[in-house]
Chains A and B, each alone.
Chain A
Amino acid sequence: MSTSTKSPNASGWKPEMQPDDGLHNGPETTTGNRALMLEEPLLFEIGHAETTGVDLPEIKLGGPSRLGGCERSEPIGLVGLTEPETVRHYTRLSRQNYGIDLGFFPLGSCTMKHNPRLNEKVARLPGFADIHPLAPQHSVQGALEVIHQLGDWLCKLTGMPSVAMSPKAGAHGELCGILAIRAAHEARGDPREVVLVPESAHGTNPATAAFANYRVEDIPATAEGRVDVAALKERLGPDVAGVMITNPNTCGLLEKDFREIADAVHEAGGYVYCDGANFNAIVGRVRPGDLGVDAMHINLHKTFSTPHGGGGPGSGPVVFSDALAPYAPLPFVRRKGDGSFELVEEDEREASRGQAFGRMTAFHGQMGMFTRALTYMLSHGADGLKQVAEDAVLNANYILRSMEDVLHAPFADAGPCMHEALFGDKQFEGGLSTLDLAKGLIDEGYHPMTVYFPLVVHGAMLVEPTETESKATLDQFITAFRSLAERARAGDESLKQAPYYAPRRRLDETAAARKPRLSWVEPEA
């Protein structure tokens, strides 16, 4: 075969085939376009106020008006495009984006796995997509059953007795969990002040605890990248409401002493919040309930394959232990004795769990994500989900062991990693940084890994391959990644200007923040 892992290019191209005539990039074009790479103006530069791509039947402006004197007299300032122009505008924009469909997207902590298209088809069934959240409950029994079934899966997969489905995203789920912890403490007349968060935590953890009026204190990490159990135990006391620990943690390691930590926290009267962002590493293989967790959010858009959509919508249901379940927010779905389903809302606050801490959002949660996630779970089943965790972990370890000789891997000696491999920039020369290597990966056709997170490793690079990548993809990536690591160690100056081949070169973020332009303004005539 003409392609080998040495030449990770399906066309048979190899670096030595580059002609040395200085012209291989070709002349500049008149339009600024480069064949399939097309520049696209802003909507406001191509649209018109009088253009529309929507035809409504028999519109009569100036008809009846019962708007109470609030009739609009000023133009809105919007512009429109016809349908063909609209489709082209957004198609061109789409081609300036990297997505999982296009290639390997090893963004650590984000679980960029394949998004099955059956999920999309199911979510669009009129029986799910075209029903109103306040429709009479007997007319939406199937929707309530979906929420109930998904909740049942989440409880069984986590080994937890109860679930709140309404949180809209991971951070919203964290807030839900922390508010339940606060409500539980307050209910027993013991409001506490402090939440302990490891240094390696996602930024949302301390932000969430602060939002709920807790004082946040850091827990140090050990040299092997795990929570310092002795330091944590030392800090526990009557003022500590609980801990927020990510497991597996953001260094890609399982907190092997989690049970011991949980027992100590419980003994000191606190609760254990587990950030479930990394659940993909253990789904179907380990139940967090067995580790003493009191509350954990689950990112359906990570572990359960609902699309990330360029930054949301997410979905962050929270599972609860028996101790916190009574405080879970409204509304929730309950199965009645006759097998039908009901939505428990404010009118049953007293008759229901009784101590619900309130409401997180209008309506019942991200239904469009529930249908997708349930479809995914049913596709994999309990056996398939176990395989998901195993392949995700195997892929990450494969990358870790294929890179550790050329890239600083701070915790490689601590044993196997979980679903993500963590590297640092310790061996880079010539002032090159993690950012330079990441931008080099863009030129190689990959989305970079997560960079500069977690904060506990200098120049962190967190690589999460997920289980939906083949060995061939990983081998190609490793070839490119190794080559970049070697260039960074050799102080290859050319990396400082990467990317060269993306739709844009490096963007000036300082200028963007110094003089923010956040909205279109018509240029002066």
Chain B
Amino acid sequence: MRYLPLTDTDRGDMLAKVGADSIDDLFVDVPEVARLDGPIRDLPMHASEMAVERHMKALAGKNLAAEGRPFFLGAGAYRHHIPASVDHIIQRGEFLTAYTPYQPEIAQGTLQMLFEFQSQVARLYGCAVANASMYDGSTACWEAVAMATRVTKRKRAVLSGALHPHYSEVVRTMAKFTGDVIADARPAIQPEPDSAGLTARIDDETACVVVQYPDILGRVSDLSAVAEAAHAKGALLVVVNTEPVALGACKSPGEMGADIVVGEGQSIGVGLNFGGPYLGLFAVRDPKHVRQMPGRLCGETTDAEGKRGFVLTLSTREQHIRREKATSNICTNSGLCALAFSVHMTLLGEKGLRELAAENHRLACKAADRLEQVPGVKLLNTAFFNEFTLMLDGKPARTIVRELADRGVLGGVSLGRLYPGVEALEQALLVAVTETTTEDDIEALATELEALVKGGAA
């Protein structure tokens, strides 16, 4: 077998060395009930590289890939152009096949990269310190809530109704078990977020308020008032961002008073990959909160000769030291995705990110203007970055999305899929536009939408 270097001669020699007559002698501790008489049944035997590739290509061929098609899906995962050098760098074996940098003398590559990554994320979020990444945005969101309960010693979290429903579902799931109380709501279908309604729900028991920016309907609004209201009650403001490119054009959450900023970093450097692996980002505005943060942190130090170097630090927060008293059970980060993010962000730089954001916004404005002209289609948002909500007449948006796909247009995400059973949201279609969207794509969506929406109304 091509991945197994031992020869039968080697195996014989080695068995002799260990004093075993056969390999079965090394498995003597397997209880009688669990011994098998051969390879596990009902599974295929080994196959050549060519045969396996053929099998997997056939499966890949059954999917409608985004490339070359009008594509408008977002809702927490965005399709951006990834420079070719990003994938080249993350495939270097020294990065790809390394482990967590527990031996820092021979892991300075990963460690320096993580220090740079943390610095990039902290700046993007307007925060003092970012960690070395989490699994994804949704789990980072829960970790932020858990951290807020530790910091404030309160148990109640108020979630904005316009937080990504998968994120609030993850928070609700975890809270059920930890005993934290979660107050949440559905998004109100209105042009601007209901900030007054949100702040009215903050009370003296509130550990944190969780707000998404831009929110699940694509709306953008200043969060300073929410921050003030939260702080007035002794609560923290947690801001969730699922589209980091937006922060190239919009004020950072830290600037508006967020205490903890978390998000999904996939947009920068990481492909869609059907939902994973992605990249959870986590940062705090005030350095005094660092010791309550979950996850790995990389810090600067010096070696025995006085040279600058980097190590994982403050690990007394973590499970391998603190065991049941750890700040989180998390034992990994999303290292290779963090590398992809950092390389892409390095290629962009300040100038590139601002231009990329401007281009996303320009095309989104263009798309919104065009789509709004389709009869039976209304634009909900007053403000947006690169994603907005359309209200469709006639058939539910979920049906329209399926029919658009049959016509080769991946036309967006229906809110009916994200909020099953909520009638008010059934007609809502979330449309994302990035720099990869062409004007022809926008025209194609408008044309097909016109046919389908009218068809539904008729």
B247 near A394 (CB under 8 angstroms)?
no
Q: Is B417 an interface residue (CB 8 A)?
A: yes
As a 0/1 sequence over residues 45 to 61 of chain A, the CB contacts with chain B under 8 angstroms (1 = contact) are 00111111110100111
Q: Is B75 an interface residue (CB 8 A)?
A: yes
A391 to B355, CA, bound (A): 54
A506 near B170 (CB under 8 angstroms)?
no
- Interface size for B (C-beta < 8 A) is 212
CB distance from A202 to the nearest CB of B (A): 8
B420 near A345 (CB under 8 angstroms)?
yes
A231 to B33, CA, bound (A): 24
Complex interface: chain A residues within 8 A of B56 (CB): 122, 125, 371, 374-375, 378
Assuming A72-B247, A310-B101, is B110 touching A97 (CB within 8 A)?
yes
Q: Is B258 an interface residue (CB 8 A)?
A: no
B309 near A507 (CB under 8 angstroms)?
yes
As a 0/1 sequence over residues 152 to 178 of chain A, the CB contacts with chain B under 8 angstroms (1 = contact) are 010011000000000011111011000
Question: From residue 297 to 349 of chain B, which have CB atoms closer than 8 A to chain A?
Answer: 297-305, 307, 309-311, 313-316, 318-326, 328-337, 339, 343, 345-349
Which of B130-138, B231-239, B446-454 lines the interface with chain A?
Answer: B130-138
Assuming A86-B343, A367-B274, is B43 touching A157 (CB within 8 A)?
yes
The residue in chain A whose Cβ has the minimal distance to the Cβ of B300 is A517
CB distance from B449 to the nearest CB of A (A): 15
Q: Is A381 an interface residue (CB 8 A)?
A: yes
Q: Is A112 an interface residue (CB 8 A)?
A: yes
CB distance from A134 to the nearest CB of B (A): 5
Complex interface: chain B residues within 8 A of A22 (CB): none
Q: Is A233 an interface residue (CB 8 A)?
A: no
B323 near A290 (CB under 8 angstroms)?
no
B301 near A368 (CB under 8 angstroms)?
no
A313 near B303 (CB under 8 angstroms)?
no
A65 near B95 (CB under 8 angstroms)?
no
Q: Which of A124, A394, A508 has the most CB of B within 10 A?
A: A394
Q: Is B208 an interface residue (CB 8 A)?
A: no
Q: Is A354 an interface residue (CB 8 A)?
A: no
Assuming A100-B97, A469-B5, A516-B313, is B329 touching A174 (CB within 8 A)?
yes
Which of B112-120, B152-160, B199-207, B370-378 lines the interface with chain A?
Answer: B112-120
B52 near A130 (CB under 8 angstroms)?
no
B59 near A127 (CB under 8 angstroms)?
yes
Question: From residue 34 to 89 of chain B, which have CB atoms closer than 8 A to chain A?
Answer: 34-36, 38-47, 49, 51-53, 55-67, 71, 73, 75-77, 79, 83, 85, 87-89
Assuming A99-B93, A368-B276, A415-B28, is B116 touching A43 (CB within 8 A)?
yes
Assuming A61-B355, A130-B65, A507-B303, is B275 touching A367 (CB within 8 A)?
yes
Q: Is A30 an interface residue (CB 8 A)?
A: no
Size category of the A interface is 35 or more
B98 near A42 (CB under 8 angstroms)?
no
Q: Is B129 an interface residue (CB 8 A)?
A: yes
A394 near B31 (CB under 8 angstroms)?
no
As a 0/1 sequence over residues 93 to 106 of chain A, the CB contacts with chain B under 8 angstroms (1 = contact) are 11111111110010
B5 near A133 (CB under 8 angstroms)?
no
Question: From residue 213 to 251 of chain B, which have CB atoms closer than 8 A to chain A?
Answer: 219-222, 247-251
B303 near A365 (CB under 8 angstroms)?
no
A145 to B59, CA, bound (A): 7
A59: contacting residue among B30, B61, B79, B359, CB under 8 A: B359
Q: Is B122 an interface residue (CB 8 A)?
A: yes
CB distance from A324 to the nearest CB of B (A): 15
Complex interface: chain B residues within 8 A of A96 (CB): 106-109, 112
Assuming A48-B349, A394-B6, A504-B105, is B53 touching A519 (CB within 8 A)?
no
The residue in chain A whose Cβ has the minimal distance to the Cβ of B315 is A513
CB distance from B57 to the nearest CB of A (A): 6
Q: Is A471 an interface residue (CB 8 A)?
A: yes
Question: From residue 240 to 283 of chain A, which have CB atoms closer than 8 A to chain B?
Answer: 253-254, 256-259, 282
Q: Is B384 an interface residue (CB 8 A)?
A: yes
A310 near B335 (CB under 8 angstroms)?
yes
A387 near B221 (CB under 8 angstroms)?
no
A204 near B276 (CB under 8 angstroms)?
no
Q: Which of A67, A170, A391 has the most CB of B within 10 A?
A: A67
Complex interface: chain A residues within 8 A of B290 (CB): 516, 518
Question: From residue 345 to 396 of chain A, which have CB atoms closer than 8 A to chain B?
Answer: 345-347, 357-369, 371, 374-375, 378-388, 390-391, 393-395
The residue in chain A whose Cβ has the minimal distance to the Cβ of B418 is A134
Q: Is B353 an interface residue (CB 8 A)?
A: yes
B6 near A44 (CB under 8 angstroms)?
no
Q: Is A221 an interface residue (CB 8 A)?
A: no
Complex interface: chain B residues within 8 A of A138 (CB): 402, 405
A236 to B19, CA, bound (A): 39
A397: contacting residue among B18, B65, B113, B421, CB under 8 A: B18
B29 near A381 (CB under 8 angstroms)?
no
Q: Is B188 an interface residue (CB 8 A)?
A: no
B410 near A99 (CB under 8 angstroms)?
no
Q: Is A456 an interface residue (CB 8 A)?
A: no
As a 0/1 sequence over residues 174 to 197 of chain B, the CB contacts with chain A under 8 angstroms (1 = contact) are 101111000000000000100000
Assuming A78-B124, A140-B274, A259-B33, is B173 touching A314 (CB within 8 A)?
no
A53 near B61 (CB under 8 angstroms)?
no
The residue in chain A whose Cβ has the minimal distance to the Cβ of B404 is A136
Q: Is A229 an interface residue (CB 8 A)?
A: no
B19: contacting residue among A364, A401, A502, CB under 8 A: A401
B222: contacting residue among A68, A284, A287, CB under 8 A: A68
B94 near A312 (CB under 8 angstroms)?
no
Q: Is A512 an interface residue (CB 8 A)?
A: yes
Which of A4-12, A207-215, A425-433 lines the interface with chain B?
Answer: A207-215
A207 near B45 (CB under 8 angstroms)?
no
Q: Is B385 an interface residue (CB 8 A)?
A: yes
Complex interface: chain A residues within 8 A of B435 (CB): 56
CB distance from A258 to the nearest CB of B (A): 7
B420 near A67 (CB under 8 angstroms)?
no
As a 0/1 sequence over residues 307 to 345 of chain A, the CB contacts with chain B under 8 angstroms (1 = contact) are 111111111000000000000010000000000000001
B40: contacting residue among A207, A284, A400, CB under 8 A: A284
A158 to B9, CA, bound (A): 31
Complex interface: chain A residues within 8 A of B313 (CB): 509, 512-513, 516, 518
Assuming A71-B250, A507-B301, is B34 touching A286 (CB within 8 A)?
yes
A384: contacting residue among B41, B46, B362, CB under 8 A: B46
CB distance from B399 to the nearest CB of A (A): 10
Q: Is A192 an interface residue (CB 8 A)?
A: no
A157 near B326 (CB under 8 angstroms)?
no
A97 near B220 (CB under 8 angstroms)?
no
Assuming A171-B332, A259-B33, A507-B303, is B170 touching A361 (CB within 8 A)?
yes
Q: Is A405 an interface residue (CB 8 A)?
A: no
Complex interface: chain B residues within 8 A of A512 (CB): 299-301, 311, 313
A112 near B99 (CB under 8 angstroms)?
yes
A383 to B13, CA, bound (A): 22
Assuming A76-B247, A153-B43, A157-B43, is B356 touching A127 (CB within 8 A)?
no
B302 near A507 (CB under 8 angstroms)?
yes
B332 near A313 (CB under 8 angstroms)?
yes
Question: From residue 29 to 50 of chain A, which have CB atoms closer than 8 A to chain B?
Answer: 40, 42-44, 47-50
A207 near B3 (CB under 8 angstroms)?
no
As a 0/1 sequence over residues 1 to 24 of chain B, the CB contacts with chain A under 8 angstroms (1 = contact) are 111111100110111011110010
A513 to B352, CA, bound (A): 35
A524 to B274, CA, bound (A): 45
Q: Is B423 an interface residue (CB 8 A)?
A: no
A–B complex contacts, Cβ < 8 Å, 20 sampled: A44-B116, A47-B349, A49-B349, A53-B83, A67-B383, A77-B123, A130-B272, A131-B64, A138-B402, A142-B60, A142-B62, A175-B329, A203-B319, A207-B328, A357-B173, A359-B173, A360-B173, A367-B273, A447-B103, A517-B299
The 6 A-B pairs of least Cβ separation, nearest first, read A80-B349, A358-B173, A68-B383, A127-B60, A363-B275, A101-B93
Contacts A72-B354, A86-B85, A310-B107 aside, 9 further interface pairs with beta carbons under 8 A come to A76-B248, A78-B349, A87-B88, A97-B108, A128-B274, A131-B64, A131-B274, A345-B420, A360-B139
